[in-house]
Structure 1
Amino acid sequence: MTYMIHGATGAQGAPVVAALTAAGLPVTALTRNAGTVVDGARVLAVDYSSTADLTDAYRGAEGVFVHLPVTPEEDRLVFARNIVAALREARPARVVFSTSGGLISTDSDNSRDQSEESAVSVLAAGLADSGISHAVIEPRFYLENLLLPNVIAGVREEGVLRYSLPSGFRASWASHLDIADAATVLFARADVTGVVSVGQYPAISGEDLAEAFSTRLGRTVTYEATDPHAFFAPLAPMLGEQATAAIADMYRAVSTQPDHSITAERSAQKLLGVTPRTANEWLAGIDL
């Protein structure tokens, strides 16, 4: 029995691999390249576009960690449906799905916050109907986004943290490491089901993040809000125009809300006893 980790060499999957192997658990790294080497794990080449390959990978697994890649939504919908079909056929013991920032439900009434046809909601609904033991990790924003070249350069060279959220806007930020911590506990805690929100609570603002950078660097860093489409435009060559525009549109929509905070009731702090890193704690481990 092993734990299957999607995107095992990427920003989200690699910390999960590291956390599980550190706990002494057997891990299989699911990647698109069979020649990849992953410390502490065997490697299996699996493509989201093949339901048969996914089914073979999931069959007999103790756990599966799933998240969807950043690609055009039409591709993500295909991947989500393939994953659901494979999970229903293979019946692994436990599935942990990270929405990577997408929202499955509002915290107040557990109703859908996205279109019924979004890939994230399709995958979550498929899990809910599958009868398989599962949990959904629902983060808001990743602290690692602050290391994007167009962000960190401003911090280093100008003492300005630029990001595509309004000044004073509060959000529940989390690190990929926090997601890995929550996933590790969720694999061991089959009694915890449904949505688990991972992020700082109370939520923090861009100014709070700038203050954390100031502390880490020993000099003043200020916060500056930027337009989402201008901010994410440099990522288009890597992510594609459609995916980049979708991310920018999401940020613009989020910015119209009062905040982007988790609530205590569905938090990892309450449900799992796992407290996410503060911005200062996260930055302490980053080489700036």
Structure 2
Amino acid sequence: MSYVIHGATGAQGAPVAAALAAAGTPVTALTRNADAVVAGARVRAVDLGATEALTDAYRGAAGVFVHLPIGAPEDRLRHARSVVAALEAARPGRVVFSTSGGGPVAAADPAVAAVIDGLGRSGLSHAVVAPRLFLENLLLPPVVTGAREQGVLRYPLPAGHPVSWSSHLDVADAVAALFDRPDVTGLVEVGLHPALTGPELAEAFTAHLGHAVRYEALAPAAFGGLIAPLLGPGAAAGIAGLYDFLGTLPDNAITPDRSASTVLGLPSRTVLQWLADAVR
């Protein structure tokens, strides 16, 4: 039986598909592009809004990894309902859903809530992976270039705001483990504990790059302006709004007793470990 991986060519799905394929596990990679190539996997193009096609893709699967793509709120909610209906009809052996970061914001997202509530009603064996913020966000050119060339790590959070950062690879490790651990259900939080402030993050960049890097809190609107040419004005405005909200919270930290480290024995990579692989 195969494991079905949503977004298998994207940032979250690709490392999950790669980890399973490397272990010799049959993988069906769901994508929006029929011409996509995913090493070690069978590629299947499926529209998230096509419940019957999703049901067919899920039927007989040992496990399904689900996360929702970025999009308009109404599209995300429609996709969430389609996914839940297909899972209820196909009854795969196990479902792992990622909230895709954000912490408290993700929990309030109607689409995320629709998937979590639907899984709860379905009776399917499932777990929910809840990362906070992804270290890969720091690879955006306005962020990493400033650290490299100017010695300034600019990010749209207050300097004293602690975050339980994690890598997409940490999420992939947790997802792969949860497929083999049907005894683990409910919420599994992924991220560093203790959480890191901006200056602590800059210290890791200093150690890795070999020159002093200081942290500079950037206004979310200014950050949105920097990334708009990369992501488009709509997506940039949404991201700026997210950081506006996150900045009002005391922290964005995981709960240790529900962490992947505690529940699965999988501590998240340190920032230095991640930098060694991600930033040359």
Same fold (TM over 0.5): yes
8 A Cα contact 1:199 1:262, kept in partner: yes
Letter in 1 for 2:139: L
8 A Cα contact 1:104 1:138, kept in partner: no
Pairs aligned (count) = 280
8 A Cα contact 2:142 2:227, kept in partner: no
What is the RMSD computed on CA atoms of the aligned residues? 1.6
Aligned to 1:222: 214
Return the offset for 1:113.
4.7
8 A Cα contact 2:126 2:185, kept in partner: yes
Aligned to 2:161: 169
8 A Cα contact 1:162 1:225, kept in partner: yes
Distance 1:104 1:50, change over 3 A: farther
Aligned to 2:247: 255
State the TM-score, normalized to the length of structure 2.
Answer: 0.95
Letter in 2 for 1:114: A
Letter in 1 for 2:87: L
Residue 192 (str. 1) matches residue 184 (str. 2): yes
SS at match of 2:278: coil
Q: Mapping of 1:119-134 within 5 angstroms? A: 119-134=111-126
SS at match of 2:266: coil
Runs of 4 or more consecutive aligned structure 1 residues displaced over 6 Å after TM superposition: none
State the TM-score, normalized to the length of structure 1.
Answer: 0.93
Higher helix share: 2
SS at match of 1:141: coil
Identify the match of residue 244 of structure 1 among 233, 236, 249. 236
Aligned to 1:66: 66
Letter in 2 for 1:126: G
1:180-229 deviation digits (Å, cap 9, x = unpaired): 00001000000000010000001011111111111111111111111112
Distance 1:240 1:223, change over 3 A: same
Q: Mapping of 1:79-228 within 5 angstroms? A: 79-103=79-103, 113-114=107-108, 118-228=110-220
8 A Cα contact 1:72 1:243, kept in partner: no
SS at match of 2:108: coil
SS at match of 2:69: coil
The answer for unaligned runs of 5 or more in structure 1 is 106-111
Distance 1:238 1:149, change over 3 A: closer
